[in-house]
Structure 1
Amino acid sequence: MHHHHSHAMSSHHAHGHHLLQVEDLCVSFSMYDPDETHFFRARKKDVSVISDLSISVHAGEIMAIVGASGSGKSLLADSVLGLYEPNAIVSGTIWFDGVRQDAASLAQLRGREIAFVPQSVANLDPLMKVGRQVRGVARDAADAERRAERQRALFEHYGLAPEVEDMYPFELSGGMARRVLLASALVESPRLIVADEPTPGLDLDLAVRALDDLRAFADAGGGVLLITHDIELALRVADRIAVFKDGTVIEETAVESFDDPSQLRHPFSRELWRALPGNGFSVSEEAIG
């Protein structure tokens, strides 16, 4: 144990280096009270979605956040990316590469040092050829050439034929679309990838390959924050698991702890273990909620 958390035995903890560190993050929204009967007199109240959440990602590792769908995990991704709704009230501290960040500096890092892999092909512009989307906006002619070379190299690396760059999103299969989204994230050579549910709608083989790509990125020294409700896939690829419930991380542990439920401290973590195939499938109502 150090920095308040345990490490996977195999975790590459380069020089004790945290790439991303989130401490005591709280996110709430100022909203009109739905119980008020008269709209014009309705008072606003703060609705908390994330509270006292702390998490870290090291260079060279995948940290997976697992928990029920719709439990605020995507809001954590938005926070790390510096994407805040106008009515959001945010407190806590986020460091990237040892430097304390705010919403403006995170926005500067977004798409460069910190890249986002979304869950859906709907994130691609349906009216633009995918090669141009992956290349992004160039600063000058030399940058445009560099981006074009990088895009072609990434497409070749991920088995996308040269003609794919001239296709529109609707012409892509699910697997091709996933690799295009990943290439878009990697074109700027980021150091941290935030992947929000990158596998829904993919069959198991494609889902495993999607996570293998993230594993290769981490093995090359990058960091990955993987947000997913699929704990089975997370255990297959991650170094550490953070169990998310009711707006916060209730337990952060090495993946190996899920080999033996006695190593899991929190009852909800043990419920997740019991829900895994081969462990009896005895899921309580609480675990599903």
Structure 2
Amino acid sequence: MRALDAVTAERAEDAVLSVRGLTVRFRLRGGRTVDAVSDADFDLAAGECLALVGESGCGKSVLASALLGLLPGNAETSGTALLAGPDGRHGTGGETTDGGGAVDLLAADEKTLARTVRGRRVGLVPQSPAAHLTPVRTVRSHLEETVRALTGTARRARRGAAEEAAGRTAFPADHLDRHPHELSGGLAQRAATALALIGDARLLLADEPTTGLDRDLVDRTVDELRRHADDGRALLLITHDLAAAERIADRVAVMYAGRIVEIAPAHRFFGPVGPRHPYARGLLDALPDRAFAPIPGMPPELTDLPGGCAFAPRCPRATDLCATRPEPTAGVACHHPEHPRA
């Protein structure tokens, strides 16, 4: 693991989640391997929203699945992902019997993750909500059972708590008694978000939480997620929607070909200064309200990554130096970072 500078070390000390060297490798038939996530480093503090952005297939959802132990059997993980205890401590003594101590999410066993982490300490808004909803149960039943399991609310109060949770994500009350197959994609997404907010987990992973929503509902949904962070919790927002990220994020992490290539404060990233990695700059310039200029070429296949900088074949600033892999410097992994805009 690379040595941390003073600012990073201070941030790690106060973090709800501190990730170092997170790597996910998939074993394929024929002895091949795929590095879906490589050496991810970041910290996430209480009250903070970190937006993880990048093109489809870059490894964002794999990273979230690794944090919750939801990867398939052919996956191998390395690194650390330390989830602080409720008291904010990062002690290495391991998980306590009541699930209240610090825990390395990558090293924890399935029993610990299932009983004390998922839903209770880490909430998940899944990318594919239909796969996480039981088809034979109504939305109301899902919500009431989650209220019971996570909060211990008495039976008579569960109905009101479930309806309150649905209201937080603008899920219509007259659809609460419908089954998942009777919902549109957008309604299923709102139901899944309501489920994730129950219990007020200290860390919330929201994986594409605005899929299938119109702009007004996108804004309402991310505003509710922002309130979750403002109440002293941490939010990792995984999204293609840069407008949603700009609306609520404190910092932005850009992923390309399995690697985080830049982390920057949101006000700098979206403001006049702009991002410094050429790929991150290209993401912004591709937006219709900006230059509307697409990034040339296509992302590489993770089974056939080029040597050195993976973005070099698409980068107008690439030189022979880019045949070697750049290490992060001042938050950007690039041999030729963009100069800040005037």
Using the size of structure 1 for normalisation, the TM-score is 0.82
Q: What's the % identity of the aligned pairs?
A: 38
Taking a change above 3 Å as real, the CA distance of residues 287 and 255 of structure 1, as seen in their structure-2 partners, is: farther
What is aligned with 2:81? 94
How many Å separate the matches in 2 of 1:204 and 1:163? 22
Taking a change above 3 Å as real, the CA distance of residues 244 and 157 of structure 1, as seen in their structure-2 partners, is: closer
State the 1:255 CA deviation. Answer: 0.7
State the 1:184 CA deviation. Answer: 0.9
What is aligned with 2:233? 222
Taking a change above 3 Å as real, the CA distance of residues 76 and 139 of structure 1, as seen in their structure-2 partners, is: closer
State the 1:82 CA deviation. Answer: 1.8
Please report the RMSD computed on the Cα atoms of aligned residues, expressed in angstroms: 2.8
What is aligned with 1:4? 8
Q: Secondary structure at the match of 1:103?
A: coil
User: Where do 5+ consecutive residues of structure 1 fail to align?
Assistant: 7-12, 34-43
What is aligned with 2:130? 122
Q: Secondary structure at the match of 1:154?
A: helix
State the 1:160 CA deviation. Answer: 4.7
Q: Secondary structure at the match of 1:225?
A: strand
1:271 aligned residue (255, 270, 282): 282
Q: Secondary structure at the match of 2:192?
A: helix
2:40 aligned residue (53, 73, 79): 53
1:190 aligned residue (186, 197, 201): 201
State the 1:263 CA deviation. Answer: 4.8
Letter of the aligned partner of 1:70 in structure 2? G
1:237 aligned residue (237, 240, 248): 248
User: Where do 5+ consecutive residues of structure 2 fail to align?
Assistant: 85-89, 91-101, 301-342
Q: Secondary structure at the match of 1:55?
A: strand
Q: Secondary structure at the match of 1:166?
A: coil
What is aligned with 1:27? 24
2:192 aligned residue (178, 181, 184): 181
Taking a change above 3 Å as real, the CA distance of residues 127 and 46 of structure 1, as seen in their structure-2 partners, is: same
Taking a change above 3 Å as real, the CA distance of residues 157 and 28 of structure 1, as seen in their structure-2 partners, is: closer
The total of aligned residue pairs comes to 271
1:204 aligned residue (215, 224, 243): 215
Letter of the aligned partner of 1:192 in structure 2? L
The answer to whether the Cα contact below 8 Å between 1:120 and 1:198 also exists between their aligned partners in 2 is no
More strand by share: 1
Letter of the aligned partner of 1:129 in structure 2? T
How many Å separate the matches in 2 of 1:80 and 1:32? 25
The answer to whether the Cα contact below 8 Å between 2:254 and 2:263 also exists between their aligned partners in 1 is yes
Letter of the aligned partner of 1:77 in structure 2? A
State the 1:156 CA deviation. Answer: 4.4
What is aligned with 1:70? 57
Taking a change above 3 Å as real, the CA distance of residues 178 and 85 of structure 1, as seen in their structure-2 partners, is: closer
How many Å separate the matches in 1 of 2:42 and 2:29? 31
Q: Which has the higher contact order (CA 8 A, sep 6+)?
A: 1
Taking a change above 3 Å as real, the CA distance of residues 287 and 258 of structure 1, as seen in their structure-2 partners, is: farther
2:108 aligned residue (90, 103, 112): 103
State the 1:163 CA deviation. Answer: 4.8
State the 1:165 CA deviation. Answer: 3.2
